[in-house]
Amino acid sequence: VRSAILAVGTELLGADRADTNSLRLSAVLADFGVAVQHKSVVGDDEAAIAREVSRLADEHDLVLLTGGLGPTADDVTREAVAAAAGRRLVHDPALEAELRQRFARFLRRMPETNLRQAAVIEGATLLPNRRGTAPALTLPLGSATLFLFPGVPFELEGLIAEHLVPWLARRTGGHKRETATLKVACVPESEVDERLQPAYAEFGREPITVLCSPGEVRVRMTATGDGAGRAARLQAMTARVRQLLGPEVFAATEAETLEEVVGVALRAAQATVATAESCTGGLIAERLTRIAGASDYLLGGVVAYSNALKTALLGVSQEILAVHGAVSEPVARAMAEGVVARTGARFGLAVTGIAGPGGGSEEKPVGSVHLALFDAAEPRASVHHLVRFPGDRERIRWQTSQLALDLLRRRLVAAGSR
């Protein structure tokens, strides 16, 4: 399959927005052994889009377009492709009814400009879009197949899974590449890399990639080729990497988050948690509540930013605060114990630190965070960590929440294995 990708949008030609949709589409195509032969970006210009589409359809079997399906006047991909294909745009009453229903569902009036999205290129097949108002379209042009996708990455993702992947599977006879992902939290990238040396020696460097984001490292394994050997190779690689990384691995899929994994572990242990947060301002509790059903194990949390509230709401003694300062081990431990005493949760998770950019000192520089986990079922297993995170305020707060959740996860693993 000779393939090409065309990203439409004037904003993609400027300095503000990068075309990431084509990267995502290239990755999906690669899974099916389809290499991209051409990529281009065209502004919101009907004639220019039509010219590019004609040219790409002449030279490729598959042409994927993203962007320009919206309701505003600058969204002209539909018109341009209709012109290139020599077809008319026809109004689809069923599509209009669907659009109106969608707006009604969100208690909104539909602006008349949205009616443009009910126009369909004659002879094209509509591909329903559950995540937005513009459906995708597919149509033949010469010997090529065209797909028109909306530009919003979140909508594109849904349409890829629902429509593009099945099409590619039919056309190419299935996957030519499989990947697996293992995720670890709060281990530096270089340390992960060091631990993976034996796996590199065994399987080669190329099929194992280490991807880093703040507070999280993903190790992605890729196996290519046909047949059963591929799955077996992927399995062997994954098992070896898992063994080398040990209990630091918290997830075995790309999508799983730390808050999800912690939730599953808490529910399995029939345990509850409450948080006591200073520098994260409730981020840890917020992340735990992202998971539906979190009320099974999360009792709640206290955001105690001032010393006075640390005392009033968490029972941290004024002496400890005066002697050690708010950012200290004794205060973190007292916060964790205090929130357990007041909520009756089994686990108390507390953080206090200096997120910056100001407020640091020689002794306690920006990025210093004390974390404490109190386990009422086994007080001697309670832990404290002092860490120093790099980065700006946002990163420091995020990494703090990562480490806090991971401390709880590791405690649950340890408690469960005995």
| Residue ranges that bind ligand ATP, judged by CB under 6 A | 7, 9, 11-12, 17, 19-21, 66-70, 75, 132-134, 150-153
H-helix segments, 2-76: 21-31, 46-59
In the complex with ligand ATP, which residue's Cβ is closer, 7 or 326?
7
In the complex with Mg ion, which residue's Cβ is closer, 68 or 338?
68
- Report how far residue 185's alpha carbon sits from residue 245's, in angstroms, rounded to the nearest whole number: 11
CB of 17 to ligand ATP, least distance (A): 5
CB of 39 to ligand ATP, least distance (A): 10
In the complex with Mg ion, which residue's Cβ is closer, 7 or 271?
7
The number of beta carbons lying within 10 Å of the beta carbon of residue 159 is: 24
x/- site string to Mg ion, residues 153 to 192, per CB under 5 A? ----------------------------------------
Ramachandran angles phi, psi of 25, nearest 5°: -65, -40
Q: Which of residues 3-32 bind Mg ion (CB under 5 A)?
A: 9
In the complex, which residue's CB is closest to ligand ATP? 70
x/- site string to Mg ion, residues 63 to 92, per CB under 5 A? -----x------x-----------------
In the complex, which residue's CB is closest to Mg ion? 9
Cα–Cα nearest to 189, from 224, 215, 165? 215
Which entry of ligand ATP, Mg ion, none binds 7, CB below 5 to 8 A by partner kind? ligand ATP
In the complex with Mg ion, which residue's Cβ is closer, 68 or 353?
68
CB of 64 to ligand ATP, least distance (A): 11
CB of 71 to ligand ATP, least distance (A): 6
Q: How many residues bind Mg ion (CB under 5 A)?
A: 3
In the complex with Mg ion, which residue's Cβ is closer, 75 or 375?
75
In the complex with Mg ion, which residue's Cβ is closer, 78 or 370?
78
CB of 129 to Mg ion, least distance (A): 15
CB of 8 to Mg ion, least distance (A): 7
In the complex with ligand ATP, which residue's Cβ is closer, 133 or 238?
133
CB of 69 to Mg ion, least distance (A): 8
Residue-wise DSSP of 140-170: EETTEEEEEE-S-HHHHHHHIIIIIHHHHHH
- Report how far residue 73's alpha carbon sits from residue 90's, in angstroms, rounded to the nearest whole number: 18
- Report how far residue 373's alpha carbon sits from residue 412's, in angstroms, rounded to the nearest whole number: 11
Which entry of ligand ATP, Mg ion, none binds 17, CB below 5 to 8 A by partner kind? ligand ATP
Which entry of ligand ATP, Mg ion, none binds 29, CB below 5 to 8 A by partner kind? none
In the complex with Mg ion, which residue's Cβ is closer, 46 or 193?
46
CB of 176 to ligand ATP, least distance (A): 25
In the complex with ligand ATP, which residue's Cβ is closer, 150 or 338?
150
CB of 132 to Mg ion, least distance (A): 13
Which entry of Mg ion, ligand ATP, none binds 265, CB below 5 to 8 A by partner kind? none
